[in-house]
Each structure stands twice: as structure tokens, then as C-alpha cells.
Amino acid sequence: MGAGRLLVLCLALAAAAAAPAAGQRPSAVSVGALFTYDSVIGRAAQLAIELAVDDVNADATVLAGTNLNLITQDTNCSGFLGTIEALELMEKNVVAVIGPQSSGIGHVISHVVNELHVPLLSFAATDPTLSASEYPYFLRSTISDYFQMHAVASVVDYYQWKEVTAIFIDDDYGRGGVSVLGDALASKRARISYKAAIPPNSNTDVVSDVLFRANMMESRVFVVHVNPDTGMELFSTANKLRMMASGYVWIVTDWLAAVLDSSRSTDRNDMNYIQGIIVLRQHTPDSVAKSKFISKWNNMARNRSIGSALNSYGFYAYDSVWTVARAIDQFLDSGQQINFSADPRLHDSNASTLRLSTLKIFDGGEQLLQQLLLTNITGLTGQVRFDSDRNLVQPAYDILNVGGSGSRLIGYWSNYSGLSVASPEILYQKPPNRSTSAQRLYSVIWPGDITTKPRGWVFPNNGKPLRVGVPNKPSFKELVSGGKGPDNASGYSIDIFNAAIKLLPYPVPCQFVAIGDGINNPNYDDIINRISTNSLDAAVGDFAIVRNRTKIAEFTQPYIEAGLVIVAPARRANSSAWAFLKPFTVEMWCVTGALFIFVGVVVWILEHRTNEEFRGSPRQQVLTIFWFSFSTMFFAHRQNTVSALGRFVLIIWLFVVLIINSSYTASLTSILTVQQLATGITGLDNLVASALPIGYQAGKFVRNYLIDELNIPASRLVPLSTVQEYADALNRGPKNGGVAAIVDEMPCVEIFLSSHCKFRIVGQEFTKEGWGFAFQRDSPLAADLSTAILQLSESGQLQRIHDEWFTDPSCGSEDSGLGAVQLSLGSFWGLFLVCALICTLALMVFFGRVCWQYSRYSNSKADGEPNDAAATAVATAIVTEMQPSKPRPTRLGSFKELMQFVDTKEEEIKKVMKRRTSEKDNGAGGSSHGRSVSSA
């Protein structure tokens, strides 16, 4: 029994000696790498990964005491073989896998690492559908194509192209990138007009067929998203198809930059095929560490006789190794152990030789993944840190223009500030700026060695003419008339369209399609809807540019203004014996008359004490007031004003009289000569407020506008189609089944009124839309025809076409306005108020001055009153002399005495006050002499 216990103890000690102590670092940690050795990316990545492992093992600050063991597997550019190689790699108990470079293999391997809890860090799988939500153990250590496609969309938007053709490899990598490209373009109001998918491993004939079909489309902006190892064959084929000539635009994703960077100068025989294209490349900032690594990589490549050069994927592969190494270091520092356990769901059946039981689960996989997500280091590619979506922060691209024997940098794109000629590192130090003015790129030399920006599209070479819908209606054929044949359309709109088409720098064959039976007006909204459903390519005619139509079609610049107006019947007003009273309302007459009398009274008060013409008997003075007041109406007053206040009031009043006379004359002239509306409709407001029926042109947008915008009941609206129906409905009037007015667009109304003189436009034009040509959404033809319309306008041809179709009205220009109205008090109350205030102010000044004189007069009498009979006799004589017809009041200070004072001439008052002052001085002298005599 004791011997058995001793044996067990010895075995336990041996096991403990064989296993590392708890908390002790292992001597080596295995890390796997998956890539294709013989590929553009693989040749750069393989050497970069090996150099990174050597640098990690040589750095005492990382994995101290633990050696990083690298195990590589060649995926051979095959999804099946790559999967087998990945499974063989998992049998070797690796704690992390760097790679793969293929997005397709990445989808398959991600399922494996999810099951075995082994973090997968890819430096080249850019497919954005490799998401963390589906593959939690997948981590992308390069820039996702999500950002690259947004960079492409920014370039397309910068040059204002609206349609592109996407040429892509038909696998997970290609389809995922193009899907994001479509969303990115849609955010810029652009779209992918055609998708040209190239099957994997296609030969030259297949590629040629795909490019030929893409060249038949109208877009000349091609976005190429294929694999680096087969992409150059595409440009060789495109060159044979003459698709690298002027007028074409090629935007290529970062695969081509990897090819160009990897190629030695002696291997660039294909440069002639790619002149003028735009290429994106992952941006890696310049640094000392990057320069040293490039030098070390080149030296090692020469020693190994590697024929290719380094590309940007090599930098990401190098940083991936360091990211894994630092994560493992943190993992071990936290006391974690590297252990593997069997997966109970993986077992070998009796008939299977796959040895699935050799695949082990990494027990610390979740903890290592968390350490990877916490990475925050500065590598060769810049800052290596992951955001909440597990993408690298600060994604950025260089934008290159291929020319000559190399390429030149024309700008940058960053997720921080968009396009810029400044490097992202400079922009990161400033606030983000995505304004249109901030987006900049240097000049580009395009295919064909031209510097002018290509238009980006041509008319498609599929032999189909442009299907142009033309409304065929029974009236207003001067505007547009759709004939029976494809070339029989005519009218004002057709002539402008044909003239604009001739100004385009490329031929556009057109086929006019008449819409309607020629008996009833077609519905214009239905014609526009046919464009949105691809039944028509365009619509030409009197199509108003209104809000609901712009949502489904693209309109050109308006070629004519066509606001809505109201047409109503008019008749010559019959003159009456009392027509001279009509210019003013009753209130206006009353207030004007009252103001005349008020001003006359005010002037009489101001002039009565100083002006003999305003004095006399009461009857004479009343007559003077009325005569003076109303004679000013004709500026025929004979009384002169002598006081300053009177003259001031008269000047203001004469100005008021001038305004009143002028307004009365103008209004009376208008009333006696103007044509009056038979229905009483004078504008939009009372038309809407009335309950009268309203006519409109059938098929046009007017009906919806009246109902939706003006809230007019549909029961009041009467559709009309022809000019004769317009005239008949207006002649009958609302009482006989007709309409009170018609609402239509100005050009149509001009044609109608040119032959019907007893109708007139009522009020003002109350909308400001115009007519334009409609095309499918984002059609480049809309923009080019808008430019052509502006050119027609500047050259005067637009006006000449207008004059050919719109003749002068046969009725002449006899109408001088409609619906003349009476002038009310509201038009003059401000003027009247100012006049009344001035009169009141003048009265206040006058009575203030009178009161002051009266006070002085009373004081002079009290001081100079004689005490003896002689003095009394003298005073009586003075008053008698002053007012011979009136007895002198015995006591001053009463209201009656004040009125008598006011009625007295101011000149006489001054004489009396002067005598009293003199008598006072004489009386004072006489009294002193008497006292002297008495004393003697």
C-alpha cells in the first residue's frame, strides 16, 4: 500500500515538472497565417509577416520569454483548397490566424474559427459583408470596402456624374463591394445604371463579351472592382475594344494600386493600356518606421530573388502580426493560460478519415479576442485601433491618376473630411469639413490625354431612338400637336425641343409618340408616370414643372414662364348721371367735406384778429368760411392769409387738396373708360370665396392645384378642352350652365384671348411655375438640354420661336384694366390725420398766444386805473374810441369779456396797451408834482 502511494506521488511530481507552473509564460505560442503564396498580395504579405515575426521575437518588451511561432498555409487562390488548408492549420493548435487574403475563403473560415474560438485577423479580406454580427471571431485589420466605395462615390459626385457602370468579379468580394457602391451612390443622387459581372477564372472571350455589352450602355464612367491577379487582362481587352479613348472614365479600386506598386519598372509593359484612369490606394502615412521597413523588405527580397515589389497590403500584414503579438502579451500578463479542449460535437465516424477530432477549441479565445479589440498602437499604417463596428479608425485612401510610366497623387479621401488635397493627418487636427467647397482634387489627365472633364455618358449604342411622348389634344395646337406619324409632331414646344437637340455635341435620334386620341385631352400626369415606368424616355409639350412631377421625373430648365391666371367675361360699363360720385365712397365724401369745413374754420380763427378780409358781420364771416373752404378745392380762394399760422395751415391743406383732386380725377377717368366684369370676379380671393363654377383645361395640373392648394370643392370645377368650349362656357355664365371664370396657364390664355376680345385676365398671375421637358430620373440629357435652352435664350432664338407661334391679339390693346374700385377712406386716413393734427396744433399755438396777450392787457388796466373823475372820463373815451359800436364792459375777467377781447383786432389791442402804459407814466409824474405844491 505504501509503495503504491509512493508511485502515485512520483507520477504527480513528474506531471507537475512537465507542465508549466501556474502563471508561468509558455516558451512558444503558435500563430497561423493563410494567404496565397504566388499572388500579388501574397508575395508582399509573406515576407512582411516573416519580418514582423522576427521583429517581435527580437523585441524584449513584447512576449518576454515567449517565442512567436509562425505556421503558414498556402490557399492557392482556391476556395476549396483554402478551406482544407485552413482546417489543417487549426489542427496545429494556433491561438490566432492572420489572413486569409480572399474574402470568399474568409466567409468559409469564419465559420470554422467561430466554432473553435480562434480569432481570425485578416489583412486583405475587404468584403464589407464579413460583419462582426455574423462572424464574431473575424476581425479585419485592413480598410473595409465599405469606405472604399464611399470614396468612389465621392469622386463620382465631385465630377457631377449621375450614372456609372460597375464592372466586378462575380464572387463574394465583387458582389459585396458593388452592393455598397450602389448605396453610396444613391446617397449622392447617382446610381449604377448597369452591372457587368465577370465570372471568376473567365477567359479573354468572356471578358471581351462583358465589356462589349457594357460599352453598349450610355454611361461612360466605369468602376472596376476585380482581383489583382486577373484584372490587368481586363484593360488589355478594353484597349482592343477602343474603350480607353477620350470620353471614357475609369475609376479602379485599390487592387490596381497593389498591382502597380508590386510591379518592377521592367515589367510595366501594360502601362499604355491604363493611361488616364483614377486609382484608389489605402493611405499609409509616411514615417521613419515605414521607411526602415521598406528598406529591410527590399533587401530581403533581393536576397531571395523575389521579382515583385512591396504594396500597401504588406504594411497591413506587418501590423497584423504586431497586433496579435501585443494582444497575446496582454493575454498572458493577465494570468491566462493557453489551453485547448476537445469539441464534443466533432468526432470521427467509423467510416471517415477526416480526423475531425484533432480540431480543438481554444479555451482562451474569447479573452484573446477582447484583447485584440482593445488594441491601440501606432504601426506602419498609422493608428491601429478598432471602433464599435470592429473597423479600423480613420480609414483613408490616396487618389492616384495614372499617366506616363507611373502615377501621380491628385488628392485624398478620408472618412473624416471627404475629398481633399491635404493629407488626412493634417485634417485630423482640424474640425471635420464636408462642405461642397471643401471637396477638392488636383487636375486629372483623362484617357485620350485630355484635361477637360469627360461628360461621362453618350447616347446608348443599342440602335434605339429616344422615345418622346407628345400630348395629342384637340386644341391649343400652337403649343404642341402630336401627329399620327413619329415625325409629325409640331408646335411651339416641339420647335424649341428640336432646336435644343441640335445644339447637343452628340446625335440624339428621337421618335415622337403621340399620347391621346386627339378628341379629348390626355392626362398629363399619366404621361409623366410613363417616364417613371420606362414606357417613355422623355415627354415634350406644355408640361408644367410642379412638385409632384419632379418626384418621379427629371425636368430641364424652364423654356417659358407659365403661371396661372384667371379669365372672366367683361363688358363696357354704362355711364350714369351720378357717375361723378363713384370715385369716392360715402364715408370718403363725408370725411372730405367735414375736413373742408374744419380747415375753413381753423383759418378763419387764425386770421380773424389780423386780417380785415375775415371780419365783418356774423353772416359775412360764415359766408367767408364756406367760400374760403371750398374755393381751395380749385385753388381759387380770393382771401389772402397774413398770419404765419394761417399760411402754414393753408400750405398743408393745399397739398391735401392736390392729392384729393389727382386721385378723384384718375378714379373718375378709370370708371368712365374701364371695362367692368360681368360676374363681379376681380381676383383670386373673391373667386375662391364665391360659390360660382370655375372652368379649367382638362388633363392639366390645374384641377389638382385648385382642390389641394386652394381647397375649392371638386363640384365647382368644370373641365374644358377646346378654345370654343372656353368661350361658350364664359358666354353662358354660371346661371345658364356655364362658368364664372376660367383658371389656366398664361400661354394658353394668351392664345385664347388673341381671338376672343370680350374676355379679360382678372387680377395678377398667382403662381410662378414654368414649362420644361421631362426625362427619366437622373438622366444626363436633362442637364445637357438645360444648357442648350439657356444657349437658345442668350442667342435670341428662344424669343424668335415664341414670336412665330404667339401672334399679337387681334383685339388690340384697348383694355386699360378691369374692375376699377372706389377710393375709400383707408387710402387717405393718414393724410387726413396729419392735416387735422397740424390744424389742431396751430389752434393751440393761437389760443396760447391770445391768453398771453389777454393777461398782459388785464394787468395794464389794473395798474393804470385812475381814481378821480377825470381819469375815468379819459378811460371811457379810449374804450369808446376803440369800440365805438360796443359799450365798454365794466369788469374784465369774465368769459364774455375774453370773447370780446378775442373778437377785437390785435392792432387795436396793442394801441390801447400802449396808451395805458403812457398814461401810467404821466399819472405818476402829476401825482408827485401835486404833493410838492401842497407841501409848499
pLDDT tens digits, 762-812? 888 989 889 999 999 878 889 889 999 999 999 999 999 999 888 765 554
The whole-angstrom separation of Cα 190 and Cα 164 is 8
Local confidence band at 932 (pLDDT 50, 70, 90 cut-offs): very low
pLDDT of amino acid 655? 78
The one-character DSSP state at 151 is: H
pLDDT of amino acid 569? 87
pLDDT of amino acid 557? 93
Handedness of CA 664, 665, 666, 669 (dihedral sign): positive
The whole-angstrom separation of Cα 900 and Cα 145 is 107
Local confidence band at 507 (pLDDT 50, 70, 90 cut-offs): confident
The answer to whether 17 and 9 are in contact (CB under 8 A) is no
pLDDT of amino acid 167? 96
**Res. 723: pLDDT tops 80:** yes
Helix residue spans in 864-905 (DSSP H): 869-882, 895-903
Q: Say which amino acid occupies 728.
A: D
- Alpha carbon dihedral 496, 500, 502, 503, in 10-degree steps, equals 150
The whole-angstrom separation of Cα 231 and Cα 270 is 12
CB contact set of 569 (below 8 Å; sequence gap of 6+): 677, 678, 679, 730, 731, 733, 758, 759
Strands 396-403 and 406-414: antiparallel
**Res. 16: pLDDT tops 50:** no
pLDDT of amino acid 207? 94
Widest distance between CA atoms in the chain? 180
pLDDT of amino acid 355? 65
Answer with the residue of higher pLDDT: 910 or 458. Answer: 458
* Cell digits of residue 134: 455574423
pLDDT tens digits, 706-718? 999 999 999 999 9
List the one residue out of 864, 863, 852 whose CA is nearest residue 906: 852
Q: Say which amino acid occupies 262.
A: S
Strands 340-342 and 360-362: antiparallel
Kindly report the number of other CB atoms within 10 A of residue 863's CB atom.
10
pLDDT of amino acid 870? 39
pLDDT of amino acid 924? 55
Answer with the residue of higher pLDDT: 563 or 24. Answer: 563
* Cell digits of residue 845: 399755438
Answer with the residue of higher pLDDT: 633 or 551. Answer: 551
The answer to whether 98 and 121 are in contact (CB under 8 A) is yes
Beta bridge partners of 539: 469, 774
H or E segment and range at residue 894: none
Local confidence band at 28 (pLDDT 50, 70, 90 cut-offs): very high
Which regions of 592-693 does DSSP assign to beta strands (E)? 675-677
pLDDT of amino acid 531? 93
Region class of 117: left (phi > 0), else alpha (psi between -120 and 50), else beta: left
Q: What's the average model confidence in pLDDT over 284-309?
A: 92
pLDDT tens digits, 616-634? 666 766 776 667 666 766 6
Answer with the residue of higher pLDDT: 11 or 527. Answer: 527
pLDDT tens digits, 561-610? 999 999 998 765 555 666 667 777 878 778 877 877 777 777 777 776 66
The whole-angstrom separation of Cα 250 and Cα 237 is 14
The answer to whether 139 and 373 are in contact (CB under 8 A) is yes
The whole-angstrom separation of Cα 6 and Cα 783 is 96
Handedness of CA 771, 773, 779, 783 (dihedral sign): negative
pLDDT of amino acid 770? 93
Q: Which residue has the cell 383786432?
A: 905
List the one residue out of 732, 451, 709, 528 whose CA is nearest residue 718: 732
Q: Strand, helix or coil at 379?
A: strand
**Res. 13: pLDDT tops 50:** no
Q: What are the respective helix, strand and coil percentages of the chain, to the nearest 5? A: 45, 15, 35
* Cell digits of residue 383: 493608428
Answer with the residue of higher pLDDT: 14 or 324. Answer: 324
H or E segment and range at residue 746: helix 746-753
The whole-angstrom separation of Cα 475 and Cα 453 is 45
- How remote is the C-alpha of 82 from its chain's centroid? 51
The answer to whether 539 and 773 are in contact (CB under 8 A) is yes
The whole-angstrom separation of Cα 199 and Cα 206 is 8
H or E segment and range at residue 306: none
Give the end-to-end CA distance of the chain in Å, rounded to a whole number. 180
**Res. 755: pLDDT tops 80:** yes
H or E segment and range at residue 509: none
* Cell digits of residue 783: 442637364
Report the share of the chain in percent with pLDDT over 70: 78
**Res. 21: pLDDT tops 70:** no
Kindly report the number of other CB atoms within 10 A of residue 188's CB atom.
16
Answer with the residue of higher pLDDT: 751 or 679. Answer: 751
pLDDT tens digits, 239-279? 999 999 999 999 999 999 999 998 876 455 678 889 999 99
Phi and psi at 203, nearest 5°, equal -85, 180
Phi and psi at 450, nearest 5°, equal -115, 155
pLDDT of amino acid 880? 43
Q: Say which amino acid occupies 400.
A: L
Kindly report the number of other CB atoms within 10 A of residue 92's CB atom.
13
pLDDT tens digits, 62-91? 988 899 999 999 988 777 888 888 888 888
pLDDT of amino acid 46? 94
* Cell digits of residue 2: 505504501
Report the share of the chain in percent with pLDDT over 90: 47
Local confidence band at 815 (pLDDT 50, 70, 90 cut-offs): very low
Contacts 24+ apart (CB under 8 A), 403-412: 403/275, 403/276, 403/445, 404/271, 404/275, 405/265, 405/268, 405/271, 406/260, 406/271, 407/260, 407/279, 409/442, 410/278, 410/441, 410/442, 410/443, 410/444, 411/440, 411/441, 411/442, 412/283
Task: Dump the DSSP string for 140-186.
Answer: E-S--HHHHHHHHHHHHHHTT--EEEEEEESSHHHHHHHHHHHHHHH
**Res. 358: pLDDT tops 80:** no
Region class of 859: left (phi > 0), else alpha (psi between -120 and 50), else beta: alpha
Is the preceding peptide bond at 454 cis, omega within 30 degrees of 0? no
**Res. 126: pLDDT tops 60:** yes
H or E segment and range at residue 786: helix 780-795
- Alpha carbon dihedral 735, 736, 740, 744, in 10-degree steps, equals 160
Half-sphere exposure of 45 (CA within 13 A, CB side): 30
Q: Strand, helix or coil at 718?
A: strand
- How remote is the C-alpha of 382 from its chain's centroid? 37
**Res. 391: pLDDT tops 70:** yes
* Cell digits of residue 399: 487618389
pLDDT of amino acid 586? 79
Q: Say which amino acid occupies 273.
A: Y
**Res. 903: pLDDT tops 70:** no
pLDDT of amino acid 492? 93
Helix residue spans in 216-310 (DSSP H): 232-240, 254-262, 288-303
pLDDT of amino acid 312? 94
Q: What's the average model confidence in pLDDT over 44-72?
A: 93
Three-state SS letters, 527-591: HHHHHHCCCCCEECCCCECCHHHHCCCEECCCCEECCEEEEEEEEECCCCCCHHHCCECHHHHHH
Least confident piece of the model among 13-17, 136-140, 330-334, 737-741: 13-17
Handedness of CA 734, 738, 744, 747 (dihedral sign): negative
The whole-angstrom separation of Cα 440 and Cα 823 is 62
Least confident piece of the model among 437-446, 466-475, 858-867: 858-867
The whole-angstrom separation of Cα 847 and Cα 841 is 10
pLDDT of amino acid 153? 97
Half-sphere exposure of 655 (CA within 13 A, CB side): 11
The one-character DSSP state at 94 is: -
Mean pLDDT of the chain: 82
Q: Report which listed range, 198-202, 227-231, 348-352, is most confident.
A: 198-202
pLDDT of amino acid 822? 63
**Res. 742: pLDDT tops 90:** yes
pLDDT tens digits, 289-299? 999 999 999 99
**Res. 354: pLDDT tops 70:** no
pLDDT of amino acid 612? 60
**Res. 20: pLDDT tops 70:** no
Q: What's the average model confidence in pLDDT over 375-388?
A: 94
Q: Say which amino acid occupies 680.
A: G
* Cell digits of residue 126: 475587404
**Res. 384: pLDDT tops 90:** yes
The model carries a pTM of: 0.67
CB contact set of 840 (below 8 Å; sequence gap of 6+): none
pLDDT tens digits, 651-697? 777 778 787 777 777 777 766 665 555 566 778 888 898 889 999 99
